[in-house]
Amino acid sequence: MLEIVIRALLLTLGVALLAAAPADAQRIRTGDPVRGSIVNGTDAGGPIAYQVALVEAEGGSPKFPFEVFCAGTIRDPTHVITAAHCLADLDAPDLAVVANLYRTGVRTNTEVVPVAAVTTHPSWPAGGNDLGILTLAGALTKGTAAPLVSANETMTGRPGLISGWGLLSDEGAIPDALQQAPVSVYADSACRRYGSDYVAATMLCAGGTSPGGTVDACQGDSGGPLVLTDTLSKTLAGIVSFGVGCADPDFPGVYTRLANPDLNARALAADPPARAIPNGLPTVTGTPATGQTLTCDPGTWTGSPALSFVWLSALINAAGEPYDVRADGTAQQLTLSSAMARRVVTCDVIAVNAGGTRTIQARVVGPVATAPTVVQGTAQSTPAAATPAASGGTPLDLTAPVARVTRRSCAKRRCTLTITARDSGGPATSARAVYRRLTGCAKGRRGKRCRADHTIAAKRAGTGLFVVRTPRLAIARYRFTVTAKDASGNVSRPATLSLSVPRR
Ligand code: 4AZ
């Protein structure tokens, strides 16, 4: 049941499948001349006219050197096309675009324009649809728009160009100069390893090879352009969306398919509807004690959204980390049963209007005190747990990731598992697999070592994506138990699978 609730939640919350959290991007600056790209591209040599950088702008002005967390493409002087997942936790007042940018440490000749409104596809992240539109607060005078691909155009086999300020290799360095690389649009079958995470109608698969190796977009390139180069002027056909790692030939980059008629029409909308904006953090009101009723106060919003609520609670360990995270209902109020004792509580407010879905979490309250119980005329109270350092302050991420094994393969007796971890709170930051041999071990004590658990830490392969590679295994059947964890220590429920290691 809980799982159903959480799954429903994850869907309705508009959880970014493989969403890149801007804060998640490591900022390593390299002064080296870069051979790499994107991955295996080249230094663009100057700004790319249609490409802008997305930067956070507290109080209207971005930090300098620019910290580019995503990119976008100029549609017209007041609109930029980007990825919805770049905009999951950011509202217009938090954002600016930088046009005519080449080096992130050089602002000469650049143009910074604040954002007036954010629009994300109303279905995103369901079915892909990783499309976001920024309406700018002023008109760009630098840069030029890229025309949009036409609806229903055939894409497979066509040459394109990708570009961005993203990582030079998987978990690698961040360039300071804009990188670019030629790619081809692949047949959908090239992305079959993504399984159901690849939705051919709304996504396209692209990549390439260069003398340096496989060409790909990487973390930080998100939202940026894939333009076609077989057209008179370069036309925007894809938006950098996601991938498993970077430059893995088995997992080409995935882009938003702008030739999809619905995406095409939305990308061209004359006046994109503004997504709702919270005027502050929501709050949980009421006394956090058993028997009391708490209310999720959404605060005020601009954009007249329809609001819904999800209660979340957790226990806090000695280190102040939440565990045993639970969803506790979707009403605006929550009456605290005795089962809620000592748990910290928060609520997510989900605001939906024509401009997309904005989800934001309230400050955490609690731990929930135990109400005095009357025993033979005397009031006895159970002391509440000590207030954890984590409560009462900043919002806590109480949402555990949901881990799934999305791919498995074995070759030469070594197996590779791909783990996808969705998380509507902070993204999963680590994952591991514990495996145990199920067949061919001696019975009794003698076989004990053979049946022992082995733990392997997964290698991070992108936001919410992890890869585990085993050592050489015996030809036998194994059970794997996989878990993912986020930065707040929330651990997913284990996902298990059994796997027979084949002879070859
Ligand atoms: C990301 O995390 C990301 N290899 C973008 C593109 C790719 C992988 C990750 C494609 O923003």
Give the closest residue (by CA) to ligand 1 atom 2. Answer: 219
Give the pLDDT confidence score for residue 406 in this predicted structure.
74
Give the pLDDT confidence score for residue 228 in this predicted structure.
98
Query: Confidence class of residue 478 from pLDDT cuts 50, 70 and 90?
Result: confident
What is the token pair recorded at 63? 């930090």
Give the pLDDT confidence score for residue 5 in this predicted structure.
30
* Cα 284 to Cα 296: distance, rounded to the nearest angstrom: 5
H-state helical runs in 393-467: none
Q: What angle do CA 126, 127, 130 make, to 5 degrees?
A: 80
> How many A from CA of 403 to the centre of ligand 1?
19
Predicted confidence (pLDDT) at residue 12 exceeds the cutoff of 90: no
> How many A from CA of 90 to the centre of ligand 1?
19
DSSP lists the bridge partners of residue 485 as 430, 491
Superfamily for 402-500? Immunoglobulins (2.60.40.10)
Predicted confidence (pLDDT) at residue 321 exceeds the cutoff of 90: no
Name the residue of 69, 87, 221, 465 whose CB sits within 8 Å of the most ligand 1 atoms, as the mutation to test its pocket.
221
- pLDDT tens across 219-234, in order? 999 999 999 999 999 9
Give the closest residue (by CA) to ligand 1 atom 11. Answer: 219
- pLDDT tens across 407-419, in order? 777 877 888 888 8
Please tell me if the CB atom of residue 218 comes closer than 6 angstroms to any atom of ligand 1: yes
Task: Find the mean pLDDT for residues 32-52.
Answer: 79
Of 43, 130, 176, 188, the active-site residue reads 130
Please tell me if the CB atom of residue 303 comes closer than 6 angstroms to any atom of ligand 1: no
* Cα 279 to Cα 383: distance, rounded to the nearest angstrom: 36
> How many A from CA of 142 to the centre of ligand 1?
27
Would residue 121 show up in a list of annotated catalytic residues for this protein?
A: no
Q: Residue 70 CA: which ligand 1 atom is closest?
A: 11
Q: What is the pTM of this model?
A: 0.71
357: Cβ–Cβ under 8 A, 6 or more apart, which residues? 13, 14, 120, 122, 124, 275, 350, 351
H-state helical runs in 217-298: 261-268
Query: Confidence class of residue 396 from pLDDT cuts 50, 70 and 90?
Result: low
DSSP lists the bridge partners of residue 293 as 335
> What's CA 457's distance to the chain center, in Å?
21
Give the pLDDT confidence score for residue 30 in this predicted structure.
29
* Cα 269 to Cα 495: distance, rounded to the nearest angstrom: 42
Give the pLDDT confidence score for residue 18 in this predicted structure.
23
Output the CATH code of domain 25-270: 2.40.10.10
Residue with the bigger pLDDT between 56 and 371: it is 56
DSSP assignment of 353-405:
ETTEEEEEEPPPB-PPBPPPEEETTEEE-PPPPPPPTTTTSSPP--PPPEEEE
- pLDDT tens across 156-200, in order? 999 999 999 999 998 889 999 999 999 999 999 999 999 999 999
Cis peptide before 33 (omega within 30 of 0): no
**b/e per residue 189-198 (b: at least 16 CB within 10 A):** ebbebbeebb
Q: Residue 463 CA: which ligand 1 atom is closest?
A: 2
Please tell me if the CB atom of residue 462 comes closer than 6 angstroms to any atom of ligand 1: yes
Give the pLDDT confidence score for residue 64 in this predicted structure.
96
Output the CATH code of domain 277-379: 2.60.40.2700
Residue with the bigger pLDDT between 144 and 400: it is 144
Do 25-270 and 277-379 come out as alike in CATH topology?
Answer: no
Give the pLDDT confidence score for residue 449 in this predicted structure.
73
211: Cβ–Cβ under 8 A, 6 or more apart, which residues? none
Mean pLDDT of the chain: 85
Task: Find the mean pLDDT for residues 328-355.
Answer: 97
Give the pLDDT confidence score for residue 503 in this predicted structure.
79
Number of residues assigned to the chain: 504
* Cα 242 to Cα 245: distance, rounded to the nearest angstrom: 9
Give the pLDDT confidence score for residue 314 in this predicted structure.
94
Would residue 486 show up in a list of annotated catalytic residues for this protein?
A: no
Give the pLDDT confidence score for residue 459 in this predicted structure.
85
Of 37, 163, 184, 222, the active-site residue reads 222
Task: Find the mean pLDDT for residues 281-304.
Answer: 97
**b/e per residue 461-499 (b: at least 16 CB within 10 A):** bbbbbbbbebeebeeeebebbbbbbbbbbbbbeebeeeb
Query: Confidence class of residue 462 from pLDDT cuts 50, 70 and 90?
Result: confident
* Cα 101 to Cα 54: distance, rounded to the nearest angstrom: 11
Would you call 193 helix, strand, or coil by DSSP?
Answer: helix
In the chain, what are the domain boundaries? 25-270, 277-379, 402-500
